[in-house]
Amino acid sequence: MTDFSRTKRAFHLPYGVTYLDGNSLGPMPRAAQQRVAAMMADEWSDMLITGWNKAGWYEQPQRVGNRIARLIGAGPGEVVMGDTLSIKVFQALSAALALRPERRVILSDSGNFPSDLYVAQGLATAMGARLRVVAPKSVADAIGDDLAVLMLTEVDYRTGRRHDMAALTARAHRAGALTIWDLAHSAGAVDVDLTASEADFAVGCTYKYLNGGPGAPAFIWVNPRHADVARPILQGWMGHEAPFAFTPDYAPAPGIERMRVGTPPVIAMAALEAALDVWDEVSMDHLRAKSVDLTGAFIAEVEASCPDLLLNSPRDPERRGSQVGFRHRQGHAVMQALIAEGVIGDFRAPDVMRFGFAPLYNDRDDVSRAAATLARILRDEGWKKAQFMRKAAVT
């Protein structure tokens, strides 16, 4: 059984703060500062350019990718790190479209993160394709014989609604389409199994539930059946079969290595490696069970004490990620009042308060404190002070 009291001690959490915004940025692992300092002092400082070989910087993107692979149901040598999530979405989508040249439709939903949609819009224009966006509940019915790529974020960043990856992937495959899954709100939060779901591509960031730090690099996974034929438009020297031959023409590296682009962010990945240490002792089944317990308890406590709030997340835990949203007409002011009292969640327009529960460091005490503080602010209209202060700052 995973000892979550032990994993909680692995993070620096400011005294008196209940942190429920790990779905935006995870807290700092205690080991990260020392790991980065050691990398700079023992590797960069002493080894200089030889660190690429002596310290293994060149292999770092796949070494770190292998550690993330276990958390998302992928195999060794199937995940590689580097660049930002938007770049990885661009690579996956361009490669998927190229694998279905006879089809020109990209399907996504209105709950997808806007940046993913922006990338899809740009690629659709450049490649003569068309982006079709439907409501999340309408995705399955919108999969037709003209579809090239189904591109979805598994867990909706606003509502926490979770798509059925296996069912939608199977439906897309029956229609002859490929799938891309964005795991930004899944990796480290829910029990993902890319292999069992038979997905085609997946991408994700590492600064949320994986706690890699601000700007931590993204990852990309390609199903092994596509890994040696996928050709993204964005082709960089680190994805070349012989990057140090410096030939003028591009020749893709075998497998997932072709999804590398530029020089990897070595310092940032040192922090990420420290963050991943704690995952070595975590069972994803136990993590998911705790997530369901925390989010379910929070919904129950808030609804019992805050009748004016409207649940903005699925009640069924099978359809919910590891975050809970509630709506209130003064949601922004209420959230500012909560943050002022040390309960940190976040707000999404027009009226949604989001609370992310990270099982590695959140527990039932966090649930109770957040629910009780929220109820008191609403009862005493403590949010009015936050609203007044905001107006005063504007004027």
Give the catalytic positions in this structure: 113, 182, 207-208, 354
**Structure tokens of 165?**
């990856």
- Name residue 161's beta-bridge partners: 320
Residue type, 155: V
* Residue 136 φ/ψ, nearest 5 degrees: -50, -40
Pair 269, 81: CB distance under 8 Å: yes
Cis preceding linkage at 359, omega within 30: no
Q: What angle do CA 82, 231, 100 make, to 5 degrees?
A: 125
Alpha helices in the chain (DSSP H): 4-8, 30-38, 45-47, 51-54, 60-69, 85-99, 114-127, 139-142, 165-174, 194-197, 266-276, 284-305, 331-340, 364-379, 383-394
Separation in Å, CA 182 to CA 253, 337, 357:
24, 32, 19
Residue that the structure tokens 């031959």 belong to? 245
Neighbouring residues of 225: CB distance < 8 A, sequence distance ≥ 6: none
Counting Cα atoms < 13 Å in the Cβ hemisphere of 180 gives 33
Residue 128 contacts residue 232 (beta carbons within 8 Å)? no
Q: Which helix (H) or strand (E) holds 355?
A: strand 352-356
